[in-house]
Amino acid sequence: MNYINVGKENSGNIDLYYEDHGTGKPVVLIHGWPLSGASWEKQVPVLVNASYRVITYDRRGFGNSSKPMSGYDYDTFAADLDKVMTKLDLRDATLVGFSMGGGEVARYLSAYGTGRVSKAVFMAAIPPFLLKRPDNPAGVDGNVFDGIKQALAADRPSFLSNFLANFYNTDVPGGKKISDEAVRLSWNIAAGASPKGTLDCVSAWLTDFREELKRIDVPTLVVHGDADRILPIAATGLRTHEAVKGSRLAVVTGGPHGLNWTHAEEVNRELLDFLK
């Protein structure tokens, strides 16, 4: 297994698990909460077959990476991504951030620039800013996030089951886009994550990326489902498209939050068209 060291906690190393497949221009896939790099199962082989070098990694606290008790904020996440980019000496790369991973893309470009990056993708992503405030009326009331934290602390496994049902819109009639077994796989991955990291990331969701998006100056694709219950497109994807000058918007009809599985064919087509 491949690991990149990003720090220490007491006597133990903080290591990020990563996979590196294929040859060609690099595409870095950054997963969402509460999953891991394994969530890109339907994208990796397609991109490799299209002659791209594809890198996935597990965010600290998730998947096969170390599970420290701290560092669950976007400055640290971006620093971790920078260590991945530097260690693998990635250049002319495309960063693809899904859900929470979109925050890494925004903060990395803001903090570390575009020396190694040529394109960016925000997929069902969390920017620009989720918290409702007088200057952000499209946001979500803060008590919603407090409720999520309370539910996670009380019974994390149960919360994850309910969350993933809305992640994939499993109750939508008229054809099943994801099997019960695939949802169970996501639950297994999520349940294996750090309880502390899973909880602390909720606070990170409230990071304000509005000014950072305005400064992005590389070609950018925004992909979002119009049936996303976790991060509704009106509060996230549409506003990110408006904020990033010249960005391209791809709306996936009927796409839930986890559209990279349920609508993989459409998502992969948009990715490949953009990468070309």
* Catalytic, out of 99, 186, 194, 247: 99
Q: Which tokens sit at 121?
A: 């993708």
Q: Which residues of 173-192 are buried (b: 16+ CB within 10 A; e: fewer)?
A: eeeebbeeebbebbbebbee
Contact 219, 192 (CB under 8 A): no
Which residue is catalytic, options 39, 65, 228, 263?
228
| Phi then psi dihedrals of residue 249, to 5 deg | -110, 130
CB 119 within 8 A of CB 219: yes
228 is catalytic: yes
Residue 223's beta-bridge partner residues? 123, 250
Q: How far apart are alpha carbons 233 and 247 in whole angstroms? A: 15
User: Within 10 A of 156 (CB to CB), how many other CB atoms are there?
Assistant: 17
Per the annotation, the verdict on 20 as an active-site residue is no
- 89 is a catalytic site residue: no
Catalytic option among 31, 224, 241, 257 = 257
Q: Give the active site residues.
A: 99, 228, 257
